[in-house]
Amino acid sequence: MTSTVSATNFMDDPDDNGRFGKFGGRYVPETLVPACAELEVGFREAWADQAFREEFEQLLQTYAGRPSGLTECANLSEELGFRILIKREDLNHTGSHKINNVLGQTLLAKRMGKSRIVAETGAGQHGVASATAAAYFGMDCVVYMGEVDMERQKLNVFRMELLGAEVRPAMSGSRTLKDAVNEAMRNWVATVESTHYCLGSVMGPHPYPWMVRQFHSVIGDEASKQCDELIGGAPDYVVACVGGGSNAIGIFSGFANSDAQLIGVEPEGGAAVGSAVPGVVHGSESYLMQDEHGQVLEAHSVSAGLDYPGVGPEHAHLADIGRARYESVNDREVLEAFELMSRSEGIIPALEPAHGLAWMVKAKEELAGKTVLLNLSGRGDKDVAQVQAIKAGDPAALSTMRP
Amino acid sequence: MTEAPQLGQLEKHLRSRRDNGRKLLIPYVTGGYPVEDWPRLVEGCAEAGADAIEIGIPFSDPVMDGTTIQESSSLALAAGADPLDILGQVSKIDVDVPLIAMTYYNICYHMGHRRFASQLSNAGISAAILPDLPLEEAGHWTKAADAEAVETILLAAPTAPDERLVRIVERSRGFVYGVGLVGITGERSELATSALEMARRLKAITDKPVVIGVGVSNPQQAAEVSEVADGVVVGSAVIRRVLDSGNIDDAVEFVAQLRAGLDAG
C-beta atoms of B63 and A172 within 8 A: no
Closest CA of chain B from A59, distance in Å: 33
C-beta atoms of A293 and B84 within 8 A: yes
DSSP 3-state of A99: helix
C-beta atoms of A26 and B137 within 8 A: yes
ipTM over 0.90? The verdict is: yes
Using pLDDT thresholds of 50, 70 and 90, give the confidence band for residue B149.
very high
Closest CA of chain B from A178, distance in Å: 8
Instruction: Report yes or no on B8 lying in a domain.
Output: no
Using pLDDT thresholds of 50, 70 and 90, give the confidence band for residue A396.
confident
Instruction: Report yes or no on A202 lying in a domain.
Output: no
pLDDT, average across residues A80-85: 98
Closest CA of chain A from B156, distance in Å: 7
Instruction: Report yes or no on B119 lying in a domain.
Output: yes
At which of A147, A167, A197 does a domain end?
A: A197
The whole domain housing B52 covers 23-264
Asked whether residue A366 falls in the same domain as residue A257, the answer is yes
The pLDDT of residue A402: 66
- Total length of chain A: 403
Distances (CA, A) of B99 to A11, B28, B74, B150: 45, 10, 22, 11
pLDDT, average across residues B151-155: 98
pLDDT, average across residues B146-165: 98
Phi and psi (nearest 5°) for B204?
A: -70, -20
Closest CA of chain B from A115, distance in Å: 17
C-beta atoms of A29 and B157 within 8 A: yes
Position A32 pLDDT exceeds 80: yes
Asked whether residue A36 falls in the same domain as residue A159, the answer is yes
Asked whether residue A168 falls in the same domain as residue A247, the answer is no
Rg (chain A; Cα; Å): 19
Q: Which residue of B has its CA nearest to A170?
A: B67
B205 Cβ under 8 Å from any chain A Cβ: no
Position B1 pLDDT exceeds 90: no
Question: What are the helix (H) ranges across chain B?
Answer: 9-19, 38-47, 67-78, 83-90, 105-111, 113-122, 139-147, 162-171, 193-203, 219-225, 236-245, 249-264
Q: Which residue of B has its CA nearest to A194?
A: B182
Kind of pairing between the strands at B176-179 and A261-267: unpaired
Instruction: Report yes or no on B122 lying in a domain.
Output: yes
Position A4 pLDDT exceeds 70: no
Using pLDDT thresholds of 50, 70 and 90, give the confidence band for residue A1.
very low
Residues in A lying within 8 Å of B, measured between beta carbons? 17, 25-35, 172-173, 178, 182, 185-186, 189-193, 278-282, 285, 288, 290, 293-296
- The pLDDT > 90 percentage for chain B reads 97
Closest CA of chain B from A308, distance in Å: 13
Asked whether residue A326 falls in the same domain as residue A227, the answer is yes
Asked whether residue A265 falls in the same domain as residue A177, the answer is no
Instruction: Report yes or no on B157 lying in a domain.
Output: yes
Q: Each residue of A180-207: pLDDT tens digit?
A: 999 999 999 999 999 999 999 999 999 9
Domain count, chain B: 1
The pLDDT of residue B208: 98
Asked whether residue A251 falls in the same domain as residue A392, the answer is yes
The pLDDT of residue B223: 98
Q: Each residue of B31-89: pLDDT tens digit?
A: 999 999 999 999 999 999 999 999 999 999 999 999 999 999 999 999 999 999 999 99
Q: What's chain A's average pLDDT? A: 95
CATH number at residue B154: 3.20.20.70
- The pLDDT > 90 percentage for chain A reads 89
Instruction: Report yes or no on B90 lying in a domain.
Output: yes
Asked whether residue A92 falls in the same domain as residue A133, the answer is no
CATH number at residue A189: 3.40.50.1100
The whole domain housing A144 covers 19-61+98-197
Instruction: Report yes or no on A11 lying in a domain.
Output: no
Position B5 pLDDT exceeds 80: no
B140 Cβ under 8 Å from any chain A Cβ: no
Partners of residue A193 in chain B, C-beta under 8 Å: 159, 182
Is B65 among the residues known to form the active site? yes
Asked whether residue A31 falls in the same domain as residue A136, the answer is yes
Q: Which residue of B has its CA nearest to A185?
A: B63
Q: Each residue of A241-270: pLDDT tens digit?
A: 999 999 999 999 999 999 999 999 999 999
Position A3 pLDDT exceeds 50: no
Please list, residue by residue across A329-351, b when 16 or more beta carbons sit within 10 angstroms of its beta carbon and e when fewer do. bbbebbbebbebbbebbebbbbb
Instruction: Report yes or no on A83 lying in a domain.
Output: yes
The pLDDT of residue B152: 98
Best mutation target, B70, B71, B106, B172, to test chain A (most A CBs within 10 A):
B106
Position B3 pLDDT exceeds 60: no
Give the active site residue among B3, B19, B51, B54.
B54
Q: Which residue of B has its CA nearest to A188?
A: B183
Domain count, chain A: 2
* Structural contact between residues A14 and A24, judged by C-beta atoms closer than 8 angstroms: yes
Asked whether residue A70 falls in the same domain as residue A175, the answer is no
pLDDT, average across residues B197-223: 98
- Angle of CA points B156, B161, B165, to nearest 5°: 40
Instruction: Report yes or no on A189 lying in a domain.
Output: yes
pLDDT, average across residues A132-148: 97
Instruction: Report yes or no on B16 lying in a domain.
Output: no
B138 Cβ under 8 Å from any chain A Cβ: no
- Angle of CA points B124, B125, B128, to nearest 5°: 165
Question: What are the helix (H) ranges across A138-241?
Answer: 147-152, 154-162, 177-191, 208-231
Instruction: Report yes or no on B199 lying in a domain.
Output: yes
Asked whether residue A252 falls in the same domain as residue A170, the answer is no
At which of A168, A197, A226 does a domain end?
A: A197
Asked whether residue A242 falls in the same domain as residue A391, the answer is yes
Distances (CA, A) of A91 to A42, A56, A207, A350, B242: 30, 18, 28, 12, 53
Asked whether residue A120 falls in the same domain as residue A247, the answer is no
Q: Each residue of B90-111: pLDDT tens digit?
A: 999 999 999 999 999 999 999 9
Q: Which residues contact A397 (CB under 8 A, 6 or more apart)?
A: A152, A386, A389, A390
Whole-prediction pTM: 0.96
- Total length of chain B: 265
C-beta atoms of A172 and B131 within 8 A: no
* Structural contact between residues A247 and A375, judged by C-beta atoms closer than 8 angstroms: yes
Q: Which residue of A has its CA nearest to B138?
A: A27
